[in-house]
Structure 1
Amino acid sequence: MNPADPLLKILVCPIDKGPLTLLPEGPFLYNPRLHRRYPIVDDIPQLLPSSGEQVDDAEHRRLTAP
């Protein structure tokens, strides 16, 4: 999956239904509102609520830094 992938425009977080961000150091999709990241395995996003991983505040700041 790459940043230009049109699939990224329609994928949403399974919990809050908001947009996700592709993390460059991933393969992960990230929800900055809930501080959750979802793995991408073999180019398939794992978007079950149980697949998400909560990140702490320090990691969230690192992931959202410009």
Structure 2
Amino acid sequence: MTPDDPLMKILACPLDKGPLHLLRQEEAGAGTPGDALYNPRLRRRYPIVDGIPQLLPSSGEQVSEEEHEELLRRMTP
């Protein structure tokens, strides 16, 4: 999955139905095995496993305040 993938325009957070940001493996955070989708409003990260976004509410994980600040810094152009 890439940031310009048409699928990114229709994917939404299962909790607040808002847009998600693609995090490449190097941006997803320490201990994260691969790419992920991130909701900065709720500070939740959803894994992408074998190219398939895992968008069940139970699949998301809360990120710490410190990690959230780092992810925001990387997302800002």
TM-score class, shorter: over 0.9
Matched, 1:45 2:53: yes
Which whole-Å CA distance do the structure 1 matches of 2:55 and 2:69 have between them?
22
Extract unaligned runs of 5+ from structure 2.
29-34
Matched, 1:55 2:71: no
Amino acid at match of 2:19: P
Extract unaligned runs of 5+ from structure 1.
none
Which whole-Å CA distance do the structure 1 matches of 2:12 and 2:40 have between them?
12
Instruction: Tell me the equivalent position of 1:17.
Output: 17
Q: 3-state SS of the aligned residue for 1:39? A: strand
TM-score by length of 1: 0.95
From the two aligned structures, give the one with the greater helix fraction: 2
Query: What is the alpha-carbon root mean square deviation over aligned residues?
Result: 0.8
Amino acid at match of 1:23: L
Matched, 1:34 2:42: yes
Moved over 6 A (4+): none
1:11 deviation in Å?
0.2
How many positions carry a matched residue from both structures? 66
Which whole-Å CA distance do the structure 2 matches of 1:9 and 1:43 have between them?
16
Q: 3-state SS of the aligned residue for 1:62? A: helix
Amino acid at match of 2:4: A
1:4 deviation in Å?
1.2
